[in-house]
Amino acid sequence: MQTVWVFGDQLNRNIGAMANAEPANSRVLMIESAATNGRAFHRQRLHLVLTAMRRFATELRVEGFDVDYRRAPSFRRGFEEHHREYEPDAVTSTEPNSRKHRALAAALGVHTTKSNQFLTHPEVFAEWAGTRQRLRLEDFYRWQRKRLGYLLDTDGEPAGGRWNYDHDNREPPPSDGEWQTPLSSPMDAVDREVFDSVSGVGRDPVGWWPTSRAAALARLEHFVDSGLSGFGRHEDAMTTQSWHLAHSLLSPALNLGLLLPDEVCDAVETAYRAGDVPISSAEGFIRQVIGWREFVWGIYWLWPDQRDENIFAHHRPLPPSWDGAPTDMLCVAEAIDGLEKRAWIHHIQRLMVLSNFANLYGMEPHLVHDWMRERYIDGADWVMGPNVYGMGLWSDGGRMATKPYVSGGAYINRMSDYCGECRFNPRKRIGHDACPFTTLYWDFLARHEETLRSNHRLARQYAAMKRLEDLPQVRQRAAEVVAGIEEGTL
């Protein structure tokens, strides 16, 4: 009998090697590696993955599969123990979702079946990338829309008349926003058993993250009914009033295979066609899934060397505030606190608060990558590499994004309600109450002028910098800010 090895981020009966497996012809192997549990991952991340694995194993047993679920010091040891005990005719797995696991599967002689967990196989993405000089997300996204048939009218034109509603989706948070109430699940015996076995950082789980396919499908339905219509307009907003706003919170379930991208997009398109949600929300959401998410997946496989660059030569270690020390920067404090409590913050907090801060302050890219990968509930290897090196930090030198996503306090002030409560002033760049983001932003432009001044997308910013009469004082203040962040006094 063959063995199908199911990795912890492929928990779906309908993908790859499991799609054709039956109890009569296949045994299932699942391995919990102690090496993973020993790392500094957020407890909720460990709890989510291990609980979802155990529930999936139970579902397969109910279906009649013989499941060898083992805990081992490493995946390799678990595999070898399984082999010795069961002597399978062959071991097959769905193509693993990380380079490390693919290399391991190859080294162990595991036969891999093509994965359909994503809508764009890396081979298809590589073909699309072809000899293009620049891989533009918008080109990829439109190609995906046409290829996959989402939000198209019968004449092949985009539903609603436009391909992209991003400009409608940048509203700041309303003062009286009424947000969905996300579903949560009470913790049961399986949750508690897993939770008692995990170490790691962060607060205990309270049931926000679905750990089974049934729970994930319920979350999808709930989001489409109650959150989706408000998603578009406030996609980029940040507020102390709500940690989730109208975000779907489905990325952890998608990244573990509990949901598949096409069923999520189908549900959103159905709601749009029924007239239940505006086009800006449906398009904005589907763009995240078939556009950005699949683009990142493709880039991960296409450019394994993306992580090797450090274009800004940033080498600072993580500051005390990223290790739980208090900070007066309210936007940073909110983001770190959100991660501590839920292992999740939304994409603008990730990009324009934490990554922006990391770049302005000059943190070592690998340290930032590892810190985020361990703390984000959905921080898969393939997600974090392109998002951190290509987008958040631009440390790859602009292979993926045309300019670094850096800003001063003005952007955060426009898109959030943080600054009014903060002891710093987002409009000030010098003085003790100057916003550290604003001070460091000008300092960043000045210190990387040689690298960035020929970038036409930053021409306006450099022209503005040249008009700053107080630039020397700003740079002096920047040195004080850096020292304060390093010492943990800011």
Provide the terminal-to-terminal Cα distance of the chain, rounded to the nearest Å: 62
| Candidate list 128, 285, 303, 418; residue touching ligand SF4; CB under 6 A | 418
Residue 335 is a binding residue for ligand SF4 (CB under 6 A):
no
Q: Which is nearer to ligand SF4, 61 or 428 (CB)?
A: 428
Interface pick for ligand SF4 out of 311, 363, 419, 485 (rule CB under 6 A): 419
Quick one: which segment of 172-180, 293-301, 362-370, 435-443 binds ligand SF4 (CB under 6 A)? 435-443
CA distances to 8, 204, 414 from 41, rounded to whole Å, are 15, 12, 33
User: Counting contacts by CB under 6 A, is residue 440 touching ligand SF4?
Assistant: no
Does 336 interact with ligand SF4 (rule: CB under 6 A)?
Answer: no
Structure tokens at 156: 């092949």
Q: How far is the CB of 360 from ligand SF4 (least distance, A)?
A: 11
Options 40-48, 68-76, 115-123, 325-333: segment touching ligand SF4 (CB under 6 A): 325-333
Q: Which of 356, 395, 436, 445 binds ligand SF4 (CB under 6 A)?
A: 436
Which CB, 50 or 485, lies closer to ligand SF4?
Answer: 485
C-beta closer to ligand SF4: residue 220 or 422: 422
| Position among 49, 258, 330, 430 found at the interface with ligand SF4 (CB under 6 A) | 330
Of 290, 412, 440, 481, the one binding ligand SF4 (CB under 6 A) is 412
Stretch that binds ligand SF4, among 256-264, 279-287, 291-299, 324-332 (CB under 6 A): 324-332
Total residues at interface with ligand SF4 (CB under 6 A): 14
Q: How far is the CB of 230 from ligand SF4 (least distance, A)?
A: 24
Is 409 a residue that touches ligand SF4 (CB under 6 A)? yes
* From 15-23, 141-149, 261-269, 434-442, span contacting ligand SF4 (CB under 6 A): 434-442
- As a whole number of angstroms, the distance between CA 166 and CA 162 comes to 10
Instruction: Decide whether 338 or 397 has the Cβ nearer to ligand SF4.
Output: 338
Q: Which of 30, 49, 245, 422 binds ligand SF4 (CB under 6 A)?
A: 422
Identify which of residues 260 and 330 has a Cβ nearer to ligand SF4 in the complex: 330
Candidate list 371, 389, 424, 442; residue touching ligand SF4; CB under 6 A = 424
| Residues linked to residue 93 through DSSP beta bridges, in sequence order | 5, 112
331 lies in the site for ligand SF4, by CB under 6 A: yes
Asked if 413 interacts with ligand SF4 (CB under 6 A), we say yes
Is 360 a binding residue for ligand SF4 by CB under 6 A? The answer is no
- Applying CB under 6 A, the span of 153-161, 210-218, 392-400, 431-439 interacting with ligand SF4 comes to 431-439
Out of 426, 448, 452, 477, name the contact with ligand SF4 by CB under 6 A: 426
Cβ proximity to ligand SF4: between 415 and 452 the closer is: 415
Does position 265 interact with ligand SF4 (CB under 6 A)? The reply is no
Report which of 60, 69, 88 is spatially closest to residue 1, judged by C-alpha positions: 88
Q: Which is nearer to ligand SF4, 319 or 409 (CB)?
A: 409
Question: What residues make contact with ligand SF4 under the rule CB under 6 A?
Answer: 329-331, 409, 412-413, 418-419, 422, 424, 426, 435-437
